């Protein structure tokens, strides 16, 4: 139950000031002390204590003062002024005592209420804090797991980055070392081919020279076959050397050995030129559909991005088991350039999909791919502040989506 | 704030003596009761525990009538200084028209003084008083004791504060009246603004102070 406090400093009426005293006993005591009937009347006359005896006309009337003001009157027929004065003083003392009690109790109520409110406030704060800790305790395991996952994932990424960096360094070194010898091997092979031609032109002369010993030795050494086989051997070696050169060039791309210059271009032009380059390999296998939306000019490493597009196109072409369709879309979505390469090829099995960007990962026969094409592509896109993702449905097709930010840096 | 009763002829002011425990707030009130001789002077009401420590408050009512017939009542309260009685201090302080901060001059009481003054500022804010506009007089009491801060030290420490400083010894009565008069001087302008005391009730600042202290008007110079 709520106790209504009036306030310790509210103004008190005469009745309230005398509320602790029995009116009958007080009246009886006053009558005996004054030796005459007496009554107490409030200042406004609304309340009268002991109204039983009518007072005579000549009754005297003394103010009863409380808190500097007249709160009521003592009316009595008594004649002795000193006695009446004493009785009034007595009543004022009662009133003062009543006021003291009233103020103390009101203040008590106020203080208790304030203390109680403060307690409730603290209690509520404690409950809230307890609930918070309870919730924290309940989620603790989950949050620890989350944290562990975050740390593990960060760790994996770091490890991956380190691995890539060291592979890149290795690749750069290897590429540099191989480049020179493969250069002169390729060149020498070409020269060797021309030398073989010269030998070949000599064969007729030797055979028709009539020198039996020479012809016999020619026969014995089976030089006809040698001259037949030598050019094809050299041709195969040339192709081999070319392949090594191509791998070295891929490796250089992977390790970013040759930093390309940046230019401001329309990526749609890039896509078109990549299509032209790959046209030979594509046309025999698939229908090419370009759906190029308008793109803002982009500052980028054109050579690198062209390489990415070419990689994706050739991959798509090679994925065709029967004649299919390759579709390239470009557009702007959420302030990013988005380019999609979709093919209707054989698709990528789900267990392989997460590894396709790993360096040296390839599903092709040994020798026909370096396993670096997509790795290099991803590094190039990442270098441009973008991202590349693949989604695939086996036997239905694969889609690569490239996101590139437009405002990577001001041109 | 000062209250005008419903009949429009009685103005009640609340003045509070605030300060740390045992700094002499009740003694101030008792001396005032002895010294002052206003038209109307009530008895001191004290609510104390057995060992003379104020439990809730002390109350001294004073009053006078303006030439226009208004009754102006002053209720002088003290607060209990002990830290535990904060709720009581807050209740007493609410709606105060002016505050006398009674500080203890003894060197050992510096921390108690500043904590209590901070408490005054906090409670004033809690009960909705504008601390910056609240009339305050700071009294350094117990000048009669040994090992007190010198007046120079005190004035230097409080140099930046806007409130009047009064040196007092409530036990002997020194400075008690001066403190009270300083507070009346600080309280009067707001009252005059709100109730036109000077214009409509023939009570200028000097008459106001003389009436409360009991000096006959025109006879104080």
Q: What is the mean pLDDT of chain A?
A: 84
Cβ-nearest to A100 among B14, B45, B90: B45
Task: Determine the average pLDDT of the residues in B25-38.
Answer: 94
The answer to whether the Cβ–Cβ distance between A9 and B45 falls below 8 Å is no
Of A346-355, A377-386, B49-58, B160-169, give the range with the top mean pLDDT. Answer: B160-169
- Chain B residues bordering chain A (beta-carbon distance below 8 Å): 5, 14, 40-43, 45, 47, 55-57, 59, 61-63, 71, 73, 75, 85, 87-88, 90-91
Task: Determine the average pLDDT of the residues in A87-91.
Answer: 93
Going by pLDDT thresholds of 50, 70 and 90, the confidence category of residue A285 is confident
Q: What pLDDT, on a 0 to 100 scale, did the predictor assign at position A248?
A: 76
CA dist., res. A194 & res. A190, Å (int): 7
CA-nearest residue to A7 within chain B is: B91
Contact list, A109 vs chain B (CB under 8 Å): none
Cβ-nearest to A110 among B45, B61, B91: B91
Query: A5 vs A372, which has greater pLDDT?
Result: A372
Q: What pLDDT, on a 0 to 100 scale, did the predictor assign at position A174?
A: 79
Going by pLDDT thresholds of 50, 70 and 90, the confidence category of residue A368 is low
Q: What pLDDT, on a 0 to 100 scale, did the predictor assign at position A160?
A: 64
* Nearest residue to B97 via CA among B187, B184, B185, B179: B187
The answer to whether the Cβ–Cβ distance between A96 and B45 falls below 8 Å is yes
Q: What pLDDT, on a 0 to 100 scale, did the predictor assign at position A302?
A: 77
Helix, strand and coil in chain B, % to nearest 5: 40, 25, 35
Q: Please, which contacts does B37-40 make with residues 24 or more away whose CB atoms are closer than 8 Å?
A: B37/B213, B37/B214, B38/B62, B38/B63, B38/B64, B38/B211, B38/B212, B38/B213, B38/B214, B39/B63, B39/B64, B39/B65, B39/B211, B39/B214, B40/A68, B40/B64, B40/B71, B40/B73
Q: What pLDDT, on a 0 to 100 scale, did the predictor assign at position A158?
A: 76
Task: Determine the average pLDDT of the residues in B134-154.
Answer: 95
The answer to whether the Cβ–Cβ distance between A107 and B73 falls below 8 Å is no
Contact list, B45 vs chain A (CB under 8 Å): 96, 99-100, 103
Query: B7 vs B115, which has greater pLDDT?
Result: B115
Check whether B20 has a pLDDT greater than 90.
yes
Check whether A324 has a pLDDT greater than 70.
yes
Check whether A58 has a pLDDT greater than 90.
no
Helix, strand and coil in chain A, % to nearest 5: 55, 15, 25
Task: Determine the average pLDDT of the residues in A14-22.
Answer: 88
Check whether B126 has a pLDDT greater than 80.
yes
Contact list, A69 vs chain B (CB under 8 Å): 71
Q: Chain A closest CA to B42's CA: distance in Å?
A: 6
Of A271-285, A353-367, B193-207, give the range with the top mean pLDDT. Answer: B193-207
Contact list, A108 vs chain B (CB under 8 Å): 56
Strand partners, B174: B169
Check whether A250 has a pLDDT greater than 80.
no
Check whether A258 has a pLDDT greater than 90.
no
Task: Please give the distance of CA B64 from its chain centroid, rounded to a whole number.
Answer: 17
Q: What pLDDT, on a 0 to 100 scale, did the predictor assign at position B95?
A: 92
Q: Chain B closest CA to A405's CA: distance in Å?
A: 55
CA-nearest residue to A92 within chain B is: B43
Percent of chain B with pLDDT over 90: 78
Q: What pLDDT, on a 0 to 100 scale, did the predictor assign at position A214?
A: 82
| pLDDT tens, position by position, B169-202 | 999 999 999 999 999 999 999 999 999 999 988 8
CA dist., res. A380 & res. A305, Å (int): 7
Residues in chain B: 221
Cβ-nearest to A68 among B14, B73, B90: B73
Going by pLDDT thresholds of 50, 70 and 90, the confidence category of residue B212 is very high
Q: What pLDDT, on a 0 to 100 scale, did the predictor assign at position B16?
A: 97
Q: Chain A closest CA to B137's CA: distance in Å?
A: 23
Task: Determine the average pLDDT of the residues in A305-332.
Answer: 87
> Among the listed ranges A65-79, A197-211, A248-262, which one has the minimum average pLDDT value?
A248-262
Q: What pLDDT, on a 0 to 100 scale, did the predictor assign at position A199?
A: 86
Contact list, A68 vs chain B (CB under 8 Å): 40-42, 61-63, 71, 73
The answer to whether the Cβ–Cβ distance between B47 and A67 falls below 8 Å is no
Question: In whole angstroms, how far apart are CA A279 and each of A239, A339, A346, B137?
Answer: 22, 19, 20, 98
Q: What pLDDT, on a 0 to 100 scale, did the predictor assign at position B219?
A: 41
| pLDDT tens, position by position, A183-196 | 899 999 999 999 99
Task: Determine the average pLDDT of the residues in A66-94.
Answer: 90
Check whether A257 has a pLDDT greater than 50.
no
| pLDDT tens, position by position, A112-131 | 998 899 999 999 999 999 99
| pLDDT tens, position by position, A97-111 | 999 999 999 999 989
Q: What pLDDT, on a 0 to 100 scale, did the predictor assign at position A1?
A: 39
Angle at B132 between CA B127 and CA B137, to 5 degrees: 95
The answer to whether the Cβ–Cβ distance between A108 and B73 falls below 8 Å is no
- Chain A residues bordering chain B (beta-carbon distance below 8 Å): 8-9, 11, 67-69, 96, 99-100, 103-104, 107-108, 110-111, 114-115, 118
Q: What are the structure tokens assigned to A347, written together?
A: 């698709």
| pLDDT tens, position by position, B148-161 | 999 999 999 999 99
Check whether A4 has a pLDDT greater than 80.
no
Task: Please give the distance of CA A73 from its chain centroid, rounded to a whole number.
Answer: 82
Percent of chain A with pLDDT over 70: 89
Q: Crossing angle, helix A302-318 and helix A373-383, to 10 degrees?
A: 140
Check whether A410 has a pLDDT greater than 70.
no
Contact list, A9 vs chain B (CB under 8 Å): 14, 75
Q: What pLDDT, on a 0 to 100 scale, did the predictor assign at position A167?
A: 65
Q: What pLDDT, on a 0 to 100 scale, did the predictor assign at position A251?
A: 67
Contact A99, A17 (CB under 8 A): yes
Cβ-nearest to A100 among B14, B47, B73: B47
> Among the listed ranges A57-71, B25-39, B185-199, which one has the minimum average pLDDT value?
A57-71
Check whether A411 has a pLDDT greater than 60.
no
Q: What are the structure tokens assigned to A8, written together?
A: 């310790």
Cα dihedral B163, B166, B170, B175 sign? negative
Contact list, B42 vs chain A (CB under 8 Å): 67-68
The answer to whether the Cβ–Cβ distance between A67 and B14 falls below 8 Å is no
Going by pLDDT thresholds of 50, 70 and 90, the confidence category of residue A284 is confident
Going by pLDDT thresholds of 50, 70 and 90, the confidence category of residue A254 is low
CA dist., res. B190 & res. B102, Å (int): 23
Q: What pLDDT, on a 0 to 100 scale, did the predictor assign at position A53?
A: 65
φ, ψ of residue A246 to 5 degrees: the values are -65, -45
- Look at phi and psi of residue A46 and say left if phi exceeds 0, alpha if psi is from -120 to 50, else beta: alpha
Query: B82 vs A55, which has greater pLDDT?
Result: B82
């Amino acid at each position: 139950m709520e106790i209504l406090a009036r306030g310790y400093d509210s103004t008190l009426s005469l009745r309230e000031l005398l509320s602790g005293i029995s009116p009958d006993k007080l009246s009886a005591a006053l009558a005996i002390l004054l030796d005459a009937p007496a009554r107490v009347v409030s200042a406004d006359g609304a309340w009268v204590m002991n109204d039983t005896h009518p007072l005579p006309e000549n009754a005297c009337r003394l103010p009863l003062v409380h808190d500097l003001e007249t709160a009521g009157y003592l009316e009595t027929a008594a004649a002795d002024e000193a006695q009446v004065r004493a009785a009034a003083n007595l009543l004022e003392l009662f009133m003062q005592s009543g006021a003291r009690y009233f103020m103390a109790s009101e203040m008590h109520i106020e203080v208790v209420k304030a203390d109680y409110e403060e307690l409730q406030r603290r209690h509520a704060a404690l409950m809230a804090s307890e609930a918070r800790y309870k919730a924290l305790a309940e989620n603790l395991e989950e949050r620890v797991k989350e944290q562990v996952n975050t740390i593990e994932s960060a760790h994996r990424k770091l490890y991956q980055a380190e691995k890539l960096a060291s592979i890149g360094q290795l690749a750069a070194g290897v590429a540099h070392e191989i480049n020179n010898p493969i250069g002169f091997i390729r060149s020498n092979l070409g020269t060797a081919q021309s030398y073989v031609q010269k030998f070949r032109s000599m064969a007729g002369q030797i055979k028709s020279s009539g020198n039996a010993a020479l012809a016999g030795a020619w026969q014995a050494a089976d030089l006809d076959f040698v001259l037949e086989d030598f050019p094809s051997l050299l041709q195969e070696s040339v192709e081999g050397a070319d392949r090594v050169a191509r791998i070295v060039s891929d490796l250089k791309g992977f390790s970013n050995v040759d930093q390309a210059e940046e230019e401001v271009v329309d990526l749609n032009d890039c896509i078109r030129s990549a299509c032209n380059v790959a046209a030979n390999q594509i046309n025999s296998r698939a229908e090419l559909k370009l759906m190029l939306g308008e793109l803002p000019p982009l500052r980028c490493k054109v050579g690198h991005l062209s390489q990415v597009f070419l990689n994706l196109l050739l991959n798509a072409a090679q994925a065709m088991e029967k004649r299919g369709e390759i579709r390239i879309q470009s557009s702007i979505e959420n302030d990013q350039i988005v380019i999609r390469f979709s093919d209707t090829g054989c698709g990528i099995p789900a267990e392989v999909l997460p590894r396709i960007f790993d360096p040296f990962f390839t599903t092709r026969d040994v020798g026909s791919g370096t396993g670096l094409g997509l790795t290099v592509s991803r590094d190039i896109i990442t270098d441009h502040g973008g991202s590349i993702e693949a989604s695939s449905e086996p036997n239905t097709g694969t889609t690569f989506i490239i996101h590139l930010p437009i405002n990577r840096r001001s041109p | 704030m000062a209250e005008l009763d419903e009949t429009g002829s009685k103005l009640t002011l609340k003045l509070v003596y605030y300060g740390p425990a045992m700094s002499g707030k009740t003694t101030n009130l008792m001396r005032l009761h002895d010294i002052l001789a206003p038209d109307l002077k009530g008895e001191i009401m004290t609510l104390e525990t057995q060992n003379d420590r104020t439990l809730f408050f002390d109350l001294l009512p004073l009053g006078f009538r303006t030439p226009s017939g208004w009754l102006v009542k002053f209720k002088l309260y003290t607060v209990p200084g002990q830290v535990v009685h904060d709720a009581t201090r807050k209740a007493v302080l609410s709606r105060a028209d002016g505050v006398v901060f009674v500080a203890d001059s003894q060197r050992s009481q510096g921390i108690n003084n500043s904590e209590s003054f901070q408490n005054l500022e906090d409670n004033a804010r809690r009960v909705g008083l504008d601390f910056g506009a609240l009339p305050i007089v700071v009294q350094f009491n117990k000048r009669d004791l040994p090992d007190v801060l010198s007046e120079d030290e005190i004035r230097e420490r409080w140099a930046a504060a806007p409130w009047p400083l009064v040196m007092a010894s409530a036990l002997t009565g020194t400075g008690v009246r001066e403190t009270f008069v300083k507070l009346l001087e600080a309280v009067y302008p707001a009252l005059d603004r709100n109730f036109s005391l000077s214009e409509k009730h023939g009570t200028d600042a000097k008459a106001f102070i003389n009436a409360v202290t009991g000096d006959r008007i025109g006879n104080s110079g």
